[in-house]
Structure 1
Amino acid sequence: MSNEILSPAEMAEADRLTISAGPRDGIGLMRNAGAAVAAVVLAHFPAARRVHVLCGPGNNGGDGYVVARILGDSAVDVLLWASGSPKAGSDAALAASECQVRPRPLSEFAAETGSVVVDALYGAGLSKPLSGDAARVVEVATELNLPVVAVDLPSGVSGESGQILGQAFRARFTVTFARKKPGHLLLPGREMCGELVLADIGIGDRIIAQLEPRTFENTPPLWLESFPIPAVDTHKYLS
């Protein structure tokens, strides 16, 4: 069953269990995630004038560095804007070191019509309103009506509740990994996600089962086996 809904904390635990079980490590999951996002950009925006990749200092930003590297290798005109440096020795720092695109300060962000934004700032773990440079970038992207591809969840949307924390990107596509989170399905976050792409990055069903999820998306596979399907000769007087 793949209709489990995981909280941000449960998803982080799924990452940890996957890494502990091997053979995939953290950077392997990050590379897979970034590749999934880059594939969406290349498939849906082949004529983009430029792609602006926004990277935060955490794992979401690490995914963004992978996206920028792959797009650069694909001859896409890429600018990378960073809100801070990843922690030394982290998977995000390794992803940044592998990226050939030189980061620019997010405080200097500027964009042009015809370009695309990849939002890899904060993802589902954000717990406080966007402010400062991040909030300004949201305003710029909104004013220019730039298509946004969000990594995991549009920055500014709570992964726990779907509430908008101050302001948020309105994404054209949101690429999330392994399972959906409450913020993808609950309003108003649901409307901010655009088309949701669920990517397999190597977190197996057995790992998800270890979490013993208690929240599920209400789709037919959840209840169809228990649904009384009427036979051909069924009528209202037949009990």
Structure 2
Amino acid sequence: MRNELLSTAEMAEADRLAIAAGPLDGYGLMQRAGEAVATLVLARHPGAKRAHVLCGPGNNGGDGYVVARLLAEAGVDVALWALGEPRPGSDAALAAAACTLERRPLSALTPEDGSLVVDALFGAGLSKPLSGDAKAAVDIVTGMNLPVVAIDLPSGVSADSGEVLGSAFLAVLTVTFARKKPGHLLLPGRERCGEIVLADIGIRDEIIDEIAPRTLENRPGLWIANFPTPAVDAHKYKRGHTSVFSGGPLAT
């Protein structure tokens, strides 16, 4: 597994390069993302009484419309809640048009106990604190302690810093794409993500190489090659010494 992390700007560039390279266009990438999330929802939460899908006006919301449609086609009782309308002609607008479920305003959100929430409000695209109906939705869902599956990143968490922008969903599962973002690993956002699953939607490694991300996840693969390999005849006195200065067992 590669360890690059993508900032918001780098992820946008990865999308742009992937679309330019083909064969998938932006709508095709959105379909792949929605399929990945829907598959995980069905696998991880087969007993959910109902799924409430919360869709924002951007591409994260577009992913949500795909998820809502696929869950409904799989026989799940789906309630669809929208925060605004997608921009006409956008990929999100195409996804919304393909989803024939009744669309209700997020301001009227009324989830039931035992239901599941899919957060497709903002994901990694948020740069200011949640407010209005979005913040109210977070408060309602959090107050009811409902399980949340977040698309890309729990809405309210900064993708670049991990900062909680006022308030944010507390997810049990976050599905992200291509590469993780810094906000998945940095506190306090890390605590909001739950389990993080990285889904392949068709953005090739060569595209990530072209971007040359500046941030890497700290894993052994990053530095293990710099450790000296001990010789066959090596023993503990050839590999350095460690000194420990401490108090008694009850003092440290």
TM-score, scaled to structure 1: 0.97
Q: Deviations over 1:183-233 (max 9, x none)?
A: 101000000000001111000100000111121001011122232233553
SS of match in other structure, 2:16 = helix
Which residue does the alignment assign to 1:75? 75
1:70 is matched by which residue type in structure 2?
L
Larger radius of gyration: 2
Q: After TM superposition, which residue ranges in structure 1, 4 or more long, deviate above 6 angstroms? A: none
TM-score for the superposition, normalised by structure 2: 0.92
The aligned counterpart of 1:129 is 129
- The separation in 2 between residues aligned to 1:129 and 1:141, in whole angstroms, is 17
Instruction: Give yes or no for contact 1:59–1:92 (8 Å, CA) kept in 2.
Output: yes
Mean alpha-carbon deviation: is it higher for 221-230 or for 150-159? 221-230
Distance 2:164 2:186 in 1: 11
**Deviation, structure 1 residue 129:** 0.6
Q: CA deviation at 1:236?
A: 3.1
Q: In the aligned structure 2, how far is the partner of 1:206 from the partner of 1:98?
A: 32
Distance 1:86 1:176 in 2: 21
Q: Separation in 2 of the partners of 1:133 and 1:46?
A: 29
Show the counterpart of 1:101. Answer: 101
In structure 2, runs of 5+ residues without a counterpart are: 240-252
Query: What SS does structure 1 have at the residue aligned with 2:27?
Result: helix
The superposition leaves residues 39-70 of structure 1 with CA deviations (integer Å, 9 ceiling, x where unpaired) of 11101110000000000000000000000011
TM-aligned CA deviation for residue 234 of structure 1: 1.8
**Aligned-pair identity (%):** 69
Residues 1:90 and 2:104 aligned together: no
Residue in 1 that maps onto 2:176: 176
Alignment pair present for 1:222 and 2:222 = yes
SS at match of 2:236: coil
Structure 2 counterpart of 1:135, one-letter code? K
Equivalent position amino acid for 1:14 in 2? A
What is aligned with 2:10? 10
